[in-house]
Structure formats: structure tokens, C-alpha cells
Amino acid sequence: MNRQADTDLLAERQAALVRALVAGSPVPDGFDSAAVAAAARALLRKRAGEVARRFPLLAHACGADFTARFVAWAADKPKTSTASDATAFAAYAGIAVNGVPAARGRKLLRRRRR
């Protein structure tokens, strides 16, 4: 293979690995499926933690099972932003914030800036 073909192949394999880690895509050949699955779960828990820290009202509304519920929801959804995750998850879970339906609650989920 030439150098460009090697670079293209590496880029394709890296992109496939990232999709497996963050979007629920199949693990590419040549990678340890168990290790990739463990890393993907860790990334999902980290993502849930980011949402919980930034939007504590949302996490509180879910109760003790927030992380499990969020991880199950997010498993096949790539992250765009923490705010988008919070808004979409609240809508999915049917969670109203301060009495406002989740579809309109994005502003209410935002943390106040000091």
C-alpha cells in the first residue's frame, strides 16, 4: 500500500472505533470487544455525570437511578453538547422542570451564571 492508502485506512479504523465508543456502533475487527464495551460504558457514565453536575434539577427529578436511566437512553446517541443531552433526555423521560414541560424547559435547566 502507498502512504496515502495507509493513512486513509487508519483514519477509517479510528473513526469506526470512535463510533463504537460513543454511538453504539459495532466494534471494528481487531479490537477487543470487552475492552471497547467497558470504555464505552465508562464514557457514558462520565457523560451522565456531566449532565448531573450541570443540571442538578434534572438529575434530582430522576432520583437515584438517574445514571442508569441516562446511560440506557444515551447508549446509541452521540453527544452534541451537555445542554442538548439534558434537554433531549428530559423530553424522553417526560420530566418537567419547575412545572414546565421538558420540551420548553431548556432555559430552566441552565445553571445561573454568576
Structural domain boundaries in the chain: 3-109
pLDDT at residue 111, rounded to an integer: 52
**Beta-carbon contacts of residue 91 (< 8 Å; ≥ 6 apart):** 102, 103
pLDDT at residue 114, rounded to an integer: 47
3 state DSSP class of 110: coil
pTM over 0.85: no
**pLDDT values of the chain reduced to their tens digit, one per residue, 114 residues:** 689 998 999 999 999 999 999 988 999 999 999 999 999 999 999 999 999 999 999 999 999 999 999 999 999 898 989 999 999 999 999 987 555 555 544 554 555 444
